[in-house]
Amino acid sequence: MVSREMRREDDDKVSDHDVEGGEEDLDCSEPGSLRRCSWITKNSDEAYVQFHDECWGVPVYSDNRLFELLSLSGMLIDHNWTEILKRRDMYREAFADFDPSAVARMEEEDVAEISGDRELRIAECRVRCIVENARCIQRVAREFGSFSGYMWGHVNHRPVVGKYRHHKYIPFRTPKSEAVSKDLVRRGFRLVGPVIVYSFMQAAGMAIDHLVDCFRFHDCVRLAERSWGITNVAA
Binding residues for Zn(2+): 37, 52, 210, 214
Q: How many CA atoms lie within 13 A of 117 on its CB side?
A: 15
Query: Residue 24 pLDDT > 50, yes or no?
Result: no
Give yes or no for a contact between 37 and 100, defined as CB atoms under 8 angstroms apart.
no
DSSP label at residue 102: H
pLDDT score of 20: 52
Q: Give the span between the Cα atoms of 121 and 194, in whole angstroms.
A: 24
Average pLDDT of 226-233? 51
Query: Residue 23 pLDDT > 80, yes or no?
Result: no
Nearest to 224 by CA among 90, 57, 86, 110: 57
DSSP label at residue 160: E
DSSP label at residue 3: S
pLDDT class of 228 with cuts at 50, 70, 90: low
Q: Which residue has the higher pLDDT, 10 or 183?
A: 183
pLDDT class of 2 with cuts at 50, 70, 90: low
DSSP label at residue 159: P
**Hey, what domains does the chain have and what are their CATH numbers?**
45-228 (1.10.340.30)
In DSSP notation, 166-220 reads SGGGS-S--HHHHHHHHHHHHTT--S--HHHHHHHHHHTTSEE-S-TTSHHHHHH
3-state secondary structure of 161: strand
pLDDT, tens digit, 9 for 90 and up, residues 110-132: 999 999 999 999 999 999 999 99
Binding residues: 37, 52, 210, 214
CA distances (Å), origin 160, targets 7, 80, 87, 90: 22, 24, 29, 31
